[in-house]
A and B are shown apart, each in its own frame.
Chain A
Amino acid sequence: MAAIVKTSAQQPPSAGVPVDDTSNSNKSVPDVTNAKSASPRKRRPNYAQIHARPVPVVVHPLPAFIPHNPLSIVRIAIVMFSHSLWPPTSHDVVHKAYYSAETHSIHVTNPQSIRALWEHGFWGAGSLSRSEPAWLEQEKRKRGIDASQTSEEYTRKRREERRQFKLERAKVQRETIEQQLRDEGKLDASTSIDEVVSLRLNATVDAADGLVDNSASLSNGKPENIGTLESVVDESAHLETRVALKDVAVEIQDQEHLQLTPEEAFFLTYSLGSLQIYRGETALSSSYLLRLYCAYSAFPIPEDAESHLYTLYSLRERINNFSLGTSVIAPILPDNAFLLRYAVYHHFRSLGWVVRHGIKFACDFLLYQRGPVFAHAKFAVIIVPAYSHSYWSETPERKAETKAKESRDWWWLHRVNRVQTQVHKTLMLVYVEVPPPWDESFRKGGFAVDVGGALKRYKVREFIVRRWTPNRNRD
């Protein structure tokens, strides 16, 4: 929050900066002051400036009041006056997005929105990238148009270097062993050391070549681009040949879109109001979206759940008139996976953490302090439902059912704990108190859901687990 206030204070408060104005200019241009340093390595872009805003909303704070400077009161008065006459808006742009039932994610296709959402709060992930939507840059670089380096390429390079290092190390080890054997007289005395070593070395080098070949053939199928459609690959190959032939920089069409998880999208629509989800041309209400996301989080999902729900939604007036609402709309269960996840997501986002999906580390969410570009995630969140409300222990069947849902075995705990220890994250078990069913009472209004009222019933408890080893935990 401090960052927001600072930057906005430097800018004219009523300027109404467009959301994406810093996006393109800052990203590719390296910092001039930093470029002076002697190191040949290219400096990182100034992330603190690019990601100054933690949410895609503009705030307009009053100028600071300085007690020994009476003129500051005048400034405050002017700003207050101008705000009351022309109230500034915090939502310059409401981004547009679409729900994709196939991938159970929300797609943002407008490039400006993609950049803005990524820069102001790290929302979503590029469909063809690891997290930051960088496919276009990668593509440009591949064709020699742009000289910057994306994180995927950096990782690839690092892995290659590491492999080379391992080969070198193996070679050196081999040499020392040879030397040792020679000293001990175990090697044939007639062959010279160099000969033996070079023979062995040739063998190892051959083996290494084989390795290189293998890894080269492997690295052709880049893991990041697995999701790439055949047509995209074809087209890019086609484009490549064209570039080679004509030797001109071709305008590359951006094939990538931003994918938001339902939790992110719902937070942006419901809590921040800076995202609007459309189906065709119609904007969707947040209670419909809640029902939609919940329907897609319960298993099994019927094939045409989305279109079915939408038909009901578009007919809702008539349904209400005939009071059919209760029979056709499935109620949202209180322990729906989306609700649990959203409660946790909302909890941590509201506390200022950057929350991202944690599937790559086998957890539900990863918590970053400022964002993935600044530091690694500190915490890995795993959600466990807790049925401590008396409603859940009323009947034996209900008790057995909830017990099966909330219980985990020791192997599970050891597994998740060990995985998180390996990647230097702290495991956080987040217990979400599941309230008794609440949707029945809201159902009279058909689709309407009192989202705030429903969310207030969920309580979140954090519980940190750490693997303790006496040798490593001395500090």
Chain B
Amino acid sequence: MAPVAEPFPISHITGRYLLFDIDAISHARREHNICGVLVGTIPNLSQQNVFLGVPLELMPEEARVLIEQGHAYLVDEAEAHQTGFAQMKREDRLAYLQTLDQQGLERAKVIQERKEERSEKVLREKGLVPMKQESSCVAPSETSESTSTPSLGIGISNKESTAELSLFGRPSDPPKPVALPETKLEAQFITPTTSYPPLAPRSVNSSLPLPKVAQNYPLFRYLHSMRYFSMPGLRFGCHYSVYPGDPLRFHSHFLATGIGWDEEFDLLDIVGGGRLGTGVKKAYLIGGEDSDKATQNASGDAPNEESVRAFSIEWAGL
């Protein structure tokens, strides 16, 4: 793993916060307890959840925590891409196009070779010896007298037909070799998958607004500050499932739900949450932020008290 220079960029694309760099992903997980969710897959061959790869999607809360603590910065990818290419120098652009062409040509060559290998293999399976010199695409002018086509099969049939003809005792003219138009190797069109070799690395731009988060953000920040790992907890009906260490090593301990300080909520939710948590050997956790204390802390009037309080609930009867 290469060291990651902080702050590292978080790509903001259509409202999602994504990490594309594998080093940044492992750095965030190791150093900052940020797990995120891998979402990458092949578009026409989507995978099960456990086999997904990069990019890593971050919850808005996770992105915000990283940015607020100065470990990362936000990049508006669409805009960065457009301005980056618009401001590119002419020489750079030509060089880039040339490298693309080069890559395309190499790709085409590989494909061609593979095609030939395949046809050779098929012929060998049929017990026919491929003729070396008949690789017509590379050198169509060197074909033998009897064959005009690159395909060997046709060549053989031609020979048979000449034998038949000779049977009838007619003097046969050898068929005239027809010269094929020379197939030029067409460069494949390469769709570039990254914009960041051609573009210069992005600069820190603090003008972007912080990620928008729901009112359960203070609870997330609080748990993160206590060195807990969080994962999205929708399948348990909570905002975050909270792990005491890396989720690969531990089971989660809490099902955390963030609630506003003065928000009214149904007591049935506590019964249900407690029941659910205990059923899966976890504790239900609710927490919220006292907005008065938060503003006091922000203005620096009062001694820095923790403005978030959290309570864990367990079902005692089970």
Residues of chain A touching chain B, judged by Cβ–Cβ distance below 8 Å, are 223, 359-364, 410-419, 422
| Cross-chain contact B236 with A363 (CB below 8 angstroms) | no
* Interface of chain B: mostly helix, strand, loop or mixed: helix
Measured CB to CB, the nearest residue on chain B to A360 is B271
Which of A223, A411, A416 lies in contact with B238, CB distance below 8 A?
A411
Is B273 an interface position by the 8 A CB rule? Answer: yes
How distant is the Cα of A413 from the Cα of B317 in the complex, in angstroms?
24
Given the interface pairs A223-B316, A223-B317, A419-B276, the reply to whether A414 lies near B271 with Cβ below 8 Å is no
Q: Which of A411, A412, A416, A418 has most chain B Cβ within 10 Å?
A: A411
| Cross-chain contact A415 with B271 (CB below 8 angstroms) | no
Is B132 an interface position by the 8 A CB rule? Answer: no
- Which residues from A are CB-within-8-Å of B237? 411-419
Closest Cβ of chain A: how far from B283's Cβ, in Å? 14
- Which residues from A are CB-within-8-Å of B275? 361-362, 419, 422
- Which residues from B are CB-within-8-Å of A416? 237, 272
- Which residues from A are CB-within-8-Å of B272? 362, 415-416, 419
How distant is the Cα of A22 from the Cα of B279 in the complex, in angstroms?
41
A-B contact count (CB 8 A): 51
A-B contact pairs, 28 of them (CB 8 A): A359-B268, A359-B271, A361-B271, A361-B275, A362-B269, A362-B275, A364-B268, A410-B234, A411-B233, A411-B237, A412-B237, A412-B269, A414-B234, A414-B236, A414-B237, A415-B236, A415-B238, A415-B269, A415-B272, A415-B276, A416-B237, A416-B272, A418-B236, A418-B237, A418-B276, A419-B275, A419-B279, A422-B276
Measured CB to CB, the nearest residue on chain B to A408 is B266
- Which residues from B are CB-within-8-Å of A364? 268
Q: Which of B234, B238, B276 has most chain A Cβ within 10 Å?
A: B276
| Cross-chain contact B268 with A363 (CB below 8 angstroms) | yes
Measured CB to CB, the nearest residue on chain B to A130 is B317
Closest Cβ of chain B: how far from A303's Cβ, in Å? 20
How distant is the Cα of A363 from the Cα of B237 in the complex, in angstroms?
15
- Which residues from A are CB-within-8-Å of B273? 362, 415
How distant is the Cα of A223 from the Cα of B317 in the complex, in angstroms?
7
Closest Cβ of chain A: how far from B114's Cβ, in Å? 39
Closest Cβ of chain B: how far from A117's Cβ, in Å? 25
CB-defined interface of B29-68 with A at 8 Å, one 1/0 digit per residue? 0000000000000000000000000000000000000000
- Which residues from B are CB-within-8-Å of A413? 237
The 10 lowest CB-CB distance pairs between A and B, nearest first, are A415-B237, A362-B272, A414-B237, A362-B271, A419-B272, A422-B279, A419-B276, A362-B268, A411-B237, A419-B275
